Structure 1
Amino acid sequence: MSLIAAILLSISANLDTLTVAISYGIKKVKLSFLSLSLITFITTGGTFISMYFGLKISEFISADSAAFIGALMLIFIGIYMIFDYFKNYKYYTDSSYIDNNNKSDDLTLKESITLSLALTINNLGIGIAASIAGISIFLNTLCTFVFTILSLILGLSIGNSYLSNIFGKYGGLVSGIIIVLLGLYECLF
């Protein structure tokens, strides 16, 4: 079951990455292999560090308590993401969000690092909570690596298609719901 939890957590944590990639695809921004690699390695490293930190925290409390606290943290993070989505709903439904910019640009090295750090910081709490909840660091780090690459490639492709309206608008909401469900699952089972 740990593999399923790691996959769901990685998918959920990477919905932000997917949404950002969609927005870059809409704007016709291209990712070089170097940019893709930097974003993937930095976000994966951030996941590992946050989960390791969560594991160290869990050494001071019982396994059952740690799992329950971690699951509650996931639920609260997911609820926060859902509320944040609705707070920013006007932004997501604004037509300028989905307008195409016919100019094609490459993501610079500085922009790639900044984006990587922003995505990593956004997922730190999730990594700590997941580790405390007992989700495998190795499996989640591996899944994060794979799903970051897939999210970037898929997001850029979607950004160039009509599906961008659906994924671009609802990525934050779906991410929050998945995290809440994962937290509830970890609480109950």
Structure 2
Amino acid sequence: MRFAVRGAVAAALGVMAAGFLDWRAGVLVAGLTLLTYVLLDTVPRADGARSLRSLRGAGYRLLRDGPHRYLAVGPGGVYLVFARLDPVSPSRRIGGVPAERVAERAAAHAARQERVLGTEVVPVVLVTGRLPEPVVRLGRVLVARPRDAVRHILGRPEALDDADVRRLVERHRS
């Protein structure tokens, strides 16, 4: 499906260029458009982990919990951060998937972590694009751009001391 849409976009751009200039320009534009799509698919996506690193200075421990997923354990609590940085669209879709479905999956994964750790885990989905507010709640899931998510986490009142953080980190590793 995605390839068909991209092919149609490339063909339409080629036809427009051919109409304005000549057929060679149309072929060139269509080819360059397709090449751009191929390159965008092969270049690795940015990872939101870079923004999360600033949490370390505030006493948080970042633990990898899978591809593009981190457990941030610190004074403000435990956060399961999905750091793929998918784009959010005005039609309430995150990375092409309905936002509610993304939130359900994030909440389910956070619930599994809660059973392992024995404490509340707040799921956070990092996105790119415009949001109506810096941090949007979808049920118990927070959706935010990386910097806004970090600000939100750092703004939480202290809920865990150093001993709690160490205990939760060890529980996660075992």
TM-score of the superposition, structure 2-length normalised?
Answer: 0.29
Instruction: Indicate the structure with greater helix content.
Output: 1
TM-score of the superposition, structure 1-length normalised?
Answer: 0.27
Of the two structures, which has the highest relative contact order with CA contacts closer than 8 Å and spacing of 6 or more?
A: 1
Instruction: Indicate the structure with greater strand content.
Output: 2
